[in-house]
Chains A and B, each alone.
Chain A
Amino acid sequence: DTGVSQDPRHKITKRGQNVTFRCDPISEHNRLYWYRQTLGQGPEFLTYFQNEAQLEKSRLLSDRFSAERPKGSFSTLEIQRTEQGDSAMYLCASSPNRGDYGYTFGSGTRLTVV
């Protein structure tokens, strides 16, 4: 069990560029979650997967955002045509069940859009 891994740790991009983040959950966890956190705020839910199925997307997730989890293993979160308001920490978490026992978070990807 190596924990939840996220890559990259930091990303600086110019406004209008596309970015993609990767998350590798704990291997036996079938649920994977994406959250976004800005300074002074708690994590905000974006989307989650059970295995390869994306079961819920937040209204925060505009059509510029897309997430995938092929084969129910790692997941990617892509942001197209980035805006300065997308600057945040993007957190991935996984859990073995419904989240009744809490999540394990990865280290996060800090995105800065300039």
Chain B
Amino acid sequence: QKEVEQNSGPLSVPEGAIASLNCTYSDRGSQSFFWYRQYSGKSPELIMSIYSNGDKEDGRFTAQLNKASQYVSLLIRDSQPSDSATYLCAVNKGTDKLIFGTGTRLQVFP
């Protein structure tokens, strides 16, 4: 079992829709959770962090964490073509490094 699992996609949504990206992790001791956006050929860019159960909103982005289910998700409201990218879920297990999933490719079509 991978430490951080994501569906590789692609996830295709129409412009203006809500995109829902999901991630599960294996270590119950994981403490902090991150979403990175990575455009093709570019490096990852941090877009959201979440540390406690529940929702955290930042603009069009909402991160959701459920530690009991070992599940973290990212919702993107009013999706735009410029949101088309790979979204990486990363988990800190309480050590000094982040473990990344393989990423989900999101395609937003006009």
Contacts and interface: CB of A to CB of B under 8 A. Distances in A.
Contacts of A103: 46, 98
Contacts of B102: 40-42
B14 to A, nearest CB: 25
A11 interface: no
A100 B32 contact: yes
Interface in B31-82: 31-32, 34, 42-46, 49, 51
Interface residues of A, number: 26
A13 interface: no
A48 interface: yes
Nearest to A91: B43
Given A40-B8, A91-B43, A100-B31, A33 B101 contact: no
A43 B100 contact: yes
A43 B99 CA distance: 8
Contacts, number: 60
Contacts of B4: 42
Contacts of A102: 34, 46, 49, 90, 98
B68 to A, nearest CB: 21
A45 interface: yes
Which of A31, A101, A107: most chain B CB closer than 10 A?
A101
Interface string A18-54: 0000000000000101010000111111001010000
Given A55-B96, A102-B34, A43 B44 contact: yes
A99 B95 CA distance: 8
B28 interface: no
Interface string B7-29: 01000000000000000000000
Nearest to B101: A42
A87 to B, nearest CB: 15
Interface of B: 4, 8, 31-32, 34, 42-46, 49, 51, 88, 90, 92, 95-103
